[in-house]
Amino acid sequence: MTTITLGKNQYGKAEVRVVRVTRDTARHEIEDLNVTSQLRGDFADAHFTGDNANVVATDTQKNTVYAFAKDGIGSPEEYLLRLGRHFTGEFDWVTGGRWEADQYTWERIDVDGQGHDHSFVRGGTETRTALVEIDGEQTTIIAGLTDLKVLKSTESGFVGYPKDRYTTLKETTDRILATSVTAKWRYNRNDLDFNAAFADVRRLLLEAFSANYSYALQNTLHDMAAAVLEAHDEIDEIRFSTPNSHHFVVDLSPFGLENPNEVFYAADRPYGLIEASFLREGADADHRVWDGVAGFC
């Protein structure tokens, strides 16, 4: 008979929506997370013999997500660290796992120029993300964001690229550069003020996107990564996945009108997809934490 062994495996409860309202005063605060918990460890018997003695029910994992929210969330990274340490400490056979969260932003509704105490509107275009992986004694944290929509209306061009018989794109030194940024960065420490770090990284990304002339989106990603890595020595690596949101100048000449880069049509597909990782010198370029991340980042 063929001998079968069990390879990498994990299991848990995916996409647990938990909303925590802090109502200690009349001015409430909202934290809104979508949490996934996945455990790793000694689960061979469950696969081979149907013995569930080591299987912490996914429903139990869901309930733990809710119960831990009672004590507050603070930051998604800190919250996931608490969950991971609980599962690896409570059950001897759970040797590690992955805990991920998307955090949705709510902003206060303005009423007569003041933010309302307990009425909110979904804010921003992006979603904050966090991932904690525990593997034995090693804990790795990845923070990030998705769908951060940015656009610069000039100071961008694209020239000097190779051309063959299939090339129709015209060179330009003045174009719209727009994208929806997914960025994830890997910390080398876990004793941080994660909310402050996230806010500063987001600020640096936006400032660097705006600061320099862009010769290509690749060039701008380098500028964004450099700003983050130079300012934050607790970050070893940052990765980007950035679809080009193409804006094409509309030909108004049939109507007897000129169009000096004023009227565009935005094409949603096909689109260029630019992805890259940037690391500080000496950092692990193939860290195993990325193995379970879908796509490039």
Active site residues: 13, 58, 246
Q: What CA–CA distances, in Å, run from 57 to 52, 84, 177?
A: 9, 15, 48
CA 240 to chain CA centroid, Å, is 9
